[in-house]
Amino acid sequence: EVQLVQSGAEVKKPGESLRISCKGSGYSFTSYWISWVRQMPGKGLEWMGRIDPSDSYTNYSPSFQGHVTISADKSISTAYLQWSSLKASDTAMYYCARGAGTGDYWGQGTLVTVSS
Amino acid sequence: NFMLTQPHSVSESPGKTVTISCTRSSGSIASNYVQWYQQRPGSAPTTVIYEDNQRPSGVPDRFSGSIDSSSNSASLTISGLKTEDEADYYCQSYDSSNPWVFGGGTKLTVL
């Protein structure tokens, strides 16, 4: 069974750093891209970027380029989404999904709350 | 860049049929596959239609997808509506410059 399991909810202060994770199982992790999607409270889905776990090649949406970093460790079938300096506006649910241009399987989501 | 436009909300009664549209602003709707995701309140999105009209295993055949080149739009049709179908529905497509583009989402109310 294909599964993407994300790390738990986080509460952070503005300016802090954070890395959340997405662990794939039930398939060959290096055969499928992983994408990250943001959903702000009460809003729609926004694509942030994607990574090819086989070589860690990444693409970012212009809206998120420079503000987040996507990485992967294929040895443990895990992809990451990282911030070096969080803002209150980063408060959102973050989903990982399997796929380069489409998402067939999704993680359960990680809620990130940034508040002073 | 292209955009995908969906109605903000639709409502229909149980047992009826509803269609949600997704119009592409530029470029042909037929050039790249369209996916549809269902997101129930408090849950992660799940795929109900992929590659324009394909249903993942486990998705009831009450869900169907289509594209219409004349209107440059895709449609998700749900027949025999059930209260459990009440959710937000998002269309999504891509092109060579835009890996993932989502529509704004449609809130389906089954009343």
CA–CA distance, A30 with B66 (Å, rounded to integer): 32
* pLDDT greater than 90 at residue B95: no
CA B58 to chain centre: 17
CA A26 to chain centre: 19
Size of chain A, expressed as the number of residues it contains: 116
| Tally of CB atoms within 10 A around A66 | 7
- To the nearest whole percent, how much of chain B has pLDDT over 90? 92
Q: Does B77 contact A at CB distance below 8 Å?
A: no
Collapsing DSSP to helix, strand or coil, B63 comes out as strand
**Phi, psi (rounded to 5 degrees) for A10:** -130, 140
The per-residue pLDDT for A104 is: 87
Q: What is the pLDDT of residues B96-105, one digit of tens each?
A: 888 899 999 9
Question: Are A106 and A24 within 8 A, CB to CB?
Answer: no
Structure tokens at B66: 């289509």
Residues in A closer than 8 angstroms to B45, CB to CB, are 37, 45, 95, 97, 103, 106
A106 closest CB neighbour out of B45, B94, B103 = B45
* pLDDT greater than 90 at residue B86: yes
**Cross-chain Cβ contact B90/A44 below 8 Å:** yes
B35 closest CB neighbour out of A37, A50, A102 = A102
Average pLDDT over residues B10-17: 97
In tens digits, chain A (116 residues) has pLDDT values of: 999 999 999 999 999 999 999 999 999 999 999 999 999 999 999 999 999 999 999 999 999 999 999 999 999 999 999 999 999 999 999 999 998 788 889 999 999 999 99
Question: Which residue is it, tokens 């649910």?
Answer: A93
B106 pLDDT band, cuts 50/70/90, is very high
B90 closest CB neighbour out of A45, A104, A108 = A45
Q: Which of A14, A76, A65 is nearest to A36 (CA)?
A: A65
Q: Does A108 contact B at CB distance below 8 Å?
A: yes
| Tally of CB atoms within 10 A around B94 | 20
HSE (side-chain half, CA atoms, 13 Å) at A22: 31
Q: To the nearest 10°, the Cα dihedral for B90, B96, B97, B101?
A: 0
**Phi, psi (rounded to 5 degrees) for B97:** -100, -20
Residues in A closer than 8 angstroms to B101, CB to CB, are 47
Q: What rounded mean pLDDT belongs to chain B?
A: 96
Residue A87 DSSP code: -
| Tally of CB atoms within 10 A around A15 | 11
Collapsing DSSP to helix, strand or coil, A90 comes out as helix
